[in-house]
């Protein structure tokens, strides 16, 4: 990986981490009382990386954000949830971006749903129980809202922040 690509990944990782931390300061749970619900602003960076960089670079950014976020938050248990949700989301969005005619709005909504599904699967594994499945339906409903918001923002971001020619 070239130095310019590595630098771009580092800057995008820092941005994703900052968005994730900022999002924790103004929780969505004030409006929708579901524990742990987040808007998913860091997903903006993931979508941008998938559209403007490579899948490998998007994965690198995601992994770094998840690890650094759990270290900064002081909660390594959260890593299991963040990483599982993030990897599911990344995989689904990478596949859907190949579908002609599907907008970033739809890709982002599906990514939000995949993220929530991954987190529920992680919770089931950690707890050794199927009980977290009860929480999946309300989370998937919220995915339409949160994914829609981040999808609309992603469309603007990808359109207005192209890669510079020198960054190639």
Residue 58, token pair as written in the block: 């998007």
CB atoms within 10 A of CB 14: 15
Res 27 pLDDT > 80: no
The Cα 155–Cα 132 span in angstroms is 32
24 — pLDDT class (breaks 50, 70, 90)? confident
Q: Give every CB contact of residue 22 below 8 A, 6+ residues apart in sequence.
A: 41
How confident is the model over 45-64, as a mean pLDDT? 94
Please say whether the beta carbons of 30 and 77 come within 8 A: no
Average pLDDT over the chain, rounded to an integer: 89
pLDDT at 165 over 70: no
Does the pLDDT of residue 110 top 90, yes or no?
yes
The confidence band for 161, taking pLDDT boundaries of 50, 70 and 90, is confident
pTM: 0.89
Inform me whether the pLDDT recorded for 133 exceeds 80.
yes
Closest C-alpha among 88, 71, 91 to residue 17: 71
Residue 3 confidence (pLDDT) above 60: yes
């Amino acid at each position: 990986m070239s130095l310019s690509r590595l630098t771009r990944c580092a800057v995008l990782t820092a941005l994703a981490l900052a968005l994730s931390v900022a999002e924790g300061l103004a929780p969505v749970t004030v409006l929708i009382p579901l524990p742990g619900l987040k808007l998913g602003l860091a997903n903006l960076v993931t979508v941008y990386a998938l559209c403007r960089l490579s899948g490998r670079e998007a994965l690198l950014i995601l992994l770094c954000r998840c690890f650094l976020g759990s270290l900064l938050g002081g909660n390594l248990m959260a890593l299991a949830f963040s990483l599982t949700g993030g990897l599911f989301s990344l995989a689904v969005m990478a596949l859907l971006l190949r579908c002609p005619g599907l907008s970033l709005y739809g890709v982002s909504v599906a990514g939000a749903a995949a993220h929530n599904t991954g987190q529920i699967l992680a919770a089931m594994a950690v707890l050794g129980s199927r009980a977290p499945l009860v929480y999946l339906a309300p989370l998937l409903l919220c995915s339409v809202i949160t994914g829609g918001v981040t999808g609309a923002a992603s469309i603007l971001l990808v359109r207005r922040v192209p890669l510079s020619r020198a960054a190639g």
